[in-house]
Amino acid sequence: MADAKTQIDEMVKSQDVVLFMKGTKAMPQCGFSSKVAGVLNYMGVEFKDVNVLADDGIRQGIKEYSDWPTIPQLYVKGEFVGGCDIITEMTLSGELDTMLAENGVSFDKDAAEKIREANA
């Protein structure tokens, strides 16, 4: 598992935004992964998608790496942010906008506002 941990560590530290998910951002294979990828795509966030279904070592390793039991998992600037419920709450409260802005990650503020309006 050390091998997977090293791979995961390199992935989260080499990209500004990384989403460990079931499937890909173009073709998610679970509703929770689809929801988080959809939010990031809609907001225009550039992110690396890692399909955990393609590598069981990564699938198990990411849960240990973050000490978080579920997929998807979002990382920004090497820091674990959360899974689907947390990302949804952060999007609706505006916390995700703030965190992305503070970390120098570009995103479409109008799109983020539209998500909040649609869910008000």
13: enclosing H helix or E strand: helix 2-14
- HEC-encoded secondary structure of 71-83: CCEEEECCEEEEC
The dihedral formed by the CA atoms of 12, 18, 24 and 29, expressed in degrees to the nearest 10: 100
- DSSP letter at 89 equals H
30 marked as part of a ligand binding site: yes
77: left (phi over 0), alpha (psi -120 to 50) or beta: left
* Tokens linked to 60: 């198990």
Which parts are annotated binding residues? 30
Which parts are annotated binding residues for [2Fe-2S] cluster? 30
